[in-house]
């Protein structure tokens, strides 16, 4: 009977967390999307998925842009069956253009290939031509995602299934709430903290349940994020960050002329959201470890638990800091290589705002981990110590 009541209690809490998450995503999306005009001037042309049936023609021509080498452009005409959109099931004629000016040549279409085509105006005839774009990669991505989900459930069982639910709500919060809020000109600082708080609360309850361990991990994680938020804003002023790191930032600024996007706040959000995963991992690991220490150790005094937490944190710290820094380096590797290759002055490269922002993200993310370790240890020591039990 006790087991049944405990199961019912956990089920009620889980369902409540799911319902709350659904409300947050739908209500948050509606609120965040008010005043959203960024998509008003977006390209409305629809890309259709097609399967190549047969190659019809292939022509190669040479041209020169004034240099010493001639360039080549190859045009391949092919018939294809439409797999999506209003013309689904019909056969169309499309073309693929491969130009040596691009540097890296794309794969030529072959029968059986699935590719995206879109309408392009033909200035000579006044009609529209179907032109090939990217190869369809989403099919394989879906298969890879399904394999990941299956393996997660096989290894994690119920907790694995809960992790999938948590991932769905996390992605929904970012793409359905946070991004519309940014594009509609809302306060990015506010929405960053709100979305991070939701992700922390939802993930811990859905995956680990509502217990002391989740509470301690949540307090440690949110505290680390808040402290790193203050540090990010402070360092942004110290380093005179403008947010204009590249051409994309300029285009982002011009998306909403009525309510221009705060580029400095975008940097802030990228730091906070980017660090959240690692910080949550550290706080949960710390809380789980100290829970086991409390169960196994005879000395559960505040001092002993706090000391154990710091000892555990030292081992966790190195791996997670490396993970975070390597993730940021990997994500910007192409840009760094390009800048270094075109500028022999290392001092000039290191003072570029783009590079400074990347370094700042890595350092503040690592700071967040460092701050989370003693904070989570402190909270766990308070909750698990003998003094707390006796006063309760």
Q: What pLDDT was estimated at residue 43?
A: 52
Asked whether 384 and 301 are in contact (CB, 8 A), the reply is: no
Kindly report the CATH number that applies to the domain delimited by 48-136.
Answer: 2.40.50
* pLDDT tens digits for range 194-251: 999 999 999 999 988 888 888 989 998 998 888 888 888 888 888 888 877 777 777 7
Q: Give the mean pLDDT of 316-322.
A: 73
More confident residue, 41 or 221: 221
Q: What pLDDT was estimated at residue 68?
A: 66
Q: What pLDDT was estimated at residue 123?
A: 64
Q: What pLDDT was estimated at residue 124?
A: 64
Q: Phi, psi at residue 385, to the nearest 5°?
A: -70, 155
Q: What pLDDT was estimated at residue 86?
A: 82
C-alpha–C-alpha distance, residues 372 and 380, integer Å: 12
* pLDDT tens digits for range 68-95: 677 788 888 989 999 887 888 889 888 8
Q: Phi, psi at residue 43, to the nearest 5°?
A: -65, 120
More confident residue, 170 or 100: 170
Kindly give the pairing relationship between strand 128-135 and strand 91-99.
parallel
Q: Give the mean pLDDT of 22-38.
A: 85
* Residue with tokens 């203050």, as numbered in its chain: 230
Q: Which residues pair with 131 in a beta bridge?
A: 95, 118
Q: Where are the domains of the chain?
A: 2-35+140-391, 48-136
More confident residue, 171 or 319: 171
Q: What pLDDT was estimated at residue 391?
A: 45
C-alpha–C-alpha distance, residues 360 and 236, integer Å: 9
Q: Average per-residue pLDDT in the chain?
A: 82
3-state secondary structure labels for all residues of the chain: CHHHHHHHHHHHHHHHHHHHHHHHHHHHHHHHCCCCCCCCCCCCCCCEEEEEEEEEEEEEEEECCCCCCCEEEEEEEEEEEECCCCCCCCEEEEEEEEEHHHCCCCCCCCCCCEEEEEEEECCCCCCEEEEEEEECCHHHHHHHHHHHHHHHHHHHHHHHHHHHHHHHHHHHHHHHHHHHHHHCCCCHHHHHHHHHHHHHHHHHHHHHCCCHHHHHHHHHHHHHHHHHHHHHHHHHHHCCCCCCCCHHHHHHHCCCCCCCCCHHHHHHHHHHHHHHHHHHHHHHHHHHHHHHHHHHCCCCCHHHHHHHHHHHHHHHHHHHHHHHHHHHHHHCHHHHHHHHHCCCCHHHHHCCHHHHHHHHHHHHHHHHHHHHHHHHHHHHHHHHCHHHHHHC
- Among residues 169, 146, 166, the alpha carbon closest in space to that of 158 is found at 166
* pLDDT tens digits for range 189-206: 999 999 999 999 999 999
pLDDT over 50 at 1, yes or no: no
Q: How far is CA 201 from CA 19, 137, 215, 331, in A?
A: 13, 34, 9, 28
C-alpha–C-alpha distance, residues 228 and 244, integer Å: 22
Q: Give the mean pLDDT of 271-288.
A: 87
Q: What pLDDT was estimated at residue 27?
A: 93
Query: Tokens for 36?
Result: 């959203």
* pLDDT tens digits for range 89-136: 889 888 888 887 766 677 888 898 899 888 887 666 667 788 888 888
């Amino acid at each position: 009977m006790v087991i049944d009541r405990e199961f019912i209690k956990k089920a009620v809490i889980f369902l409540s967390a799911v319902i709350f998450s659904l409300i947050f995503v739908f209500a948050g999306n509606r609120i965040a999307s008010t005043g959203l005009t960024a998509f008003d001037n977006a390209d409305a042309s629809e890309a259709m998925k097609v399967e190549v049936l047969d190659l019809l023609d292939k022509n190669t021509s040479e041209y020169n842009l004034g240099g010493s080498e001639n360039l080549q452009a190859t045009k391949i005409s092919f018939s294809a069956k439409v797999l999506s959109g209003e013309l689904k099931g019909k056969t169309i004629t499309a073309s693929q253009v491969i130009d040596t000016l691009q540097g890296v040549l794309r794969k030529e279409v072959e029968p059986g290939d699935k590719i995206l085509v879109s309408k392009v105006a033909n200035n000579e005839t006044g009609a529209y031509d179907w032109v090939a774009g990217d190869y369809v990669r989403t099919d394989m991505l879906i298969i890879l995602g399904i394999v990941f989900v299956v393996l997660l459930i096989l290894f994690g069982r119920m907790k694995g299934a809960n992790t999938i639910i948590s991932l769905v709500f996390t992605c929904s919060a970012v793409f359905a709430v946070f991004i519309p809020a940014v594009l509609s000109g809302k306060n990015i600082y506010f929405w960053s903290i709100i979305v991070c708080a939701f992700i922390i609360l939802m993930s811990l309850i859905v995956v680990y349940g509502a217990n002391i361990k989740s509470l301690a991990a949540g307090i440690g994680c949110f505290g680390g994020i808040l402290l790193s938020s203050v540090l990010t804003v402070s360092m942004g002023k110290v380093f005179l960050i403008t947010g204009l790191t590249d051409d994309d930032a300029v285009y982002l600024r011009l998306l909403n002329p009525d309510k221009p996007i705060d580029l400095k706040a975008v940097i802030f959000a990228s730091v906070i959201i980017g660090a959240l995963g690692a910080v949550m991992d550290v706080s949960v690991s710390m809380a789980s470890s100290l829970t086991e220490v409390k169960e196994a150790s005879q000395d559960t005094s505040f001092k002993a638990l706090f000391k154990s937490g710091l000892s555990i944190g030292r081992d966790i710290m190195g791996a997670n800091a490396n993970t975070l820094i390597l993730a940021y380096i990997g994500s910007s590797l192409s840009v760094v290589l390009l800048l270094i290759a075109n500028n022999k002055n290392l001092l000039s490269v290191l003072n570029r705002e783009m590079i400074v922002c990347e370094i700042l993200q890595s350092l503040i993310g690592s700071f967040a981990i460092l701050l989370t370790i003693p904070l989570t240890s402190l909270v766990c020591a308070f909750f698990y110590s003998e003094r707390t039990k006796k006063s309760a």
